[in-house]
Structure 1
Amino acid sequence: MIEDSDIAADLQKVEPRQVWPGKPNELDYALCDVRCECGVLDFEIAQRDGSAARLRVDLPSSGRPQPWLYCRARDHDDWTQQLLAWLDEEVFTGGLGPSRAREFRYGASYVVAETYGFRLADPAEHARLTIAAGPLSWHNVSPDNL
């Protein structure tokens, strides 16, 4: 079984992520203030350009869908690497700017994980992608397969 605490420990050690290694880019980002409780991982994504948002994602112990997984994770490191690949795609393609919908919780601004990626601010595009990705994401990995 993959332990939530192992994933949290992995994410606390993640080095800043770069679009192109060795060449600074405004979309480069770091993970900060990683928190893990009750089957949920909560952390801040801070981009080089100063944009920032928090994100909450479900951990294996929750039994809830984890749409960033593209295949069954072998261990905590594999789970973490799949999450980082998904974060890279979301941050490097759309960033944390105005195209992303935000929710305010606990006094902080959060981007929201959807089955297709970070929730979009455009309601029509959000609806289209929600239908396209389906209830279990592009990869159709259910919690039963995890």
Structure 2
Amino acid sequence: MIADVDVIAELKSIDEWRYASSPGRPARYDYRVLDVRALPGLADFEVRQRDGLAARIQIALPSAVAPQHWLYVTPENARDWVSQLVIWLDEEVYTGGLGEDRSRVERDGASYVVVESYGWQLRDPHEHARLKALAGEHGWNGGNGAR
């Protein structure tokens, strides 16, 4: 089993801009992963876009008995686990980023994006229901590699 501590270490090693557009051509949606924290069974981190929008995200770690919808194959190690997570983050930032169309909740004074089986929850109730039905309980990848 992949150790949570190894996943947290890999997440903390992401210290460069991720390009949601073209590498080397900054766009407002380019983002960084910052302030990674380990909680029991969860990774809690900030995503900050180049345009200044930011939100925190909590996702299940390997030890959690919880869905990990970003996994499309069973990861070989912590680096592979985080690589699959980063692909998911890239897609979520590219398809709308952290703008007003994303649902958020406040926890301890911080704004968190709501994670769903289809990605980051949309505020539009009709589009949310449509995507949730399409992705299903196990997400786009049908639970491959997820708990």
TM-score of the aligned structures, taking structure 1 as reference length: 0.95
Q: Which runs of 4+ in 1 moved over 4 A?
A: none
The one of 26, 41, 44 equivalent to 1:42 is 44
**Contact 1:72/1:141 (8 A) holds in 2:** no
The one of 54, 57, 62 equivalent to 1:55 is 57
Q: CA deviation at 1:56?
A: 0.3
| Residues matched between the structures, number | 145
Name the residue aligned to 1:7. Answer: 7
Query: Can you give the 5+ residue segments of structure 2 that lack an aligned partner in the other structure?
Result: none
Across the aligned residues of Structure 1 and Structure 2, the Cα RMSD in angstroms comes to 1.2
Name the residue aligned to 1:17. Answer: 18
Name the residue aligned to 2:103. Answer: 101
1:21 is aligned with what amino acid? P
Query: Structure 1 vs Structure 2: percent identity of aligned residues?
Result: 50
Q: CA deviation at 1:109?
A: 0.5
**Contact 1:120/1:126 (8 A) holds in 2:** yes
Distance of 2:86 and 2:97 partners within structure 1:
14
User: Deviation digits for residues 20-65 of structure 1, max 9, x if unmatched?
Assistant: 1111110010011100120100000000000000000001101211
1:8 is aligned with what amino acid? I
TM-score of the aligned structures, taking structure 2 as reference length: 0.95
Distance of 1:90 and 1:107 partners within structure 2:
23
User: Deviation digits for residues 86-122 of structure 1, max 9, x if unmatched?
Assistant: 0000001111001101111111101011000000010
Query: Can you give the 5+ residue segments of structure 1 that lack an aligned partner in the other structure?
Result: none
Q: CA deviation at 1:142?
A: 5.8
Name the residue aligned to 1:76. Answer: 78
Distance of 2:138 and 2:83 partners within structure 1:
19
2:72 is aligned with what amino acid? Y
